[in-house]
Amino acid sequence: MAKEKKIVLIEPIEFGSETVTELTLTRKLKYLRGYTLRVTSDGKGKGAIDLDFSTLIDLGAKLSGRPPAFIEDLGEEDQGVLLQEARDFLLQHLGGGKEE
In which band, very low, low, confident or very high, does the pLDDT at 78 lie, cut at 50, 70 and 90?
Answer: very high
Instruction: Quote the pLDDT of residue 100.
Output: 47
Distance CA 97, CA 8 (A): 24
Q: Which residues, in sequence order, are bridge partners of residue 38?
A: 50
* Residue range 80-92: mean pLDDT, rounded: 90
Parse the chain into domains and list their residue ranges: 3-94
pLDDT digits (tens, 9 = 90+) for 33-43: 776 666 666 67
Distance CA 53, CA 56 (A): 5
pLDDT digits (tens, 9 = 90+) for 33-72: 776 666 666 677 666 666 778 889 999 999 999 999 999 9
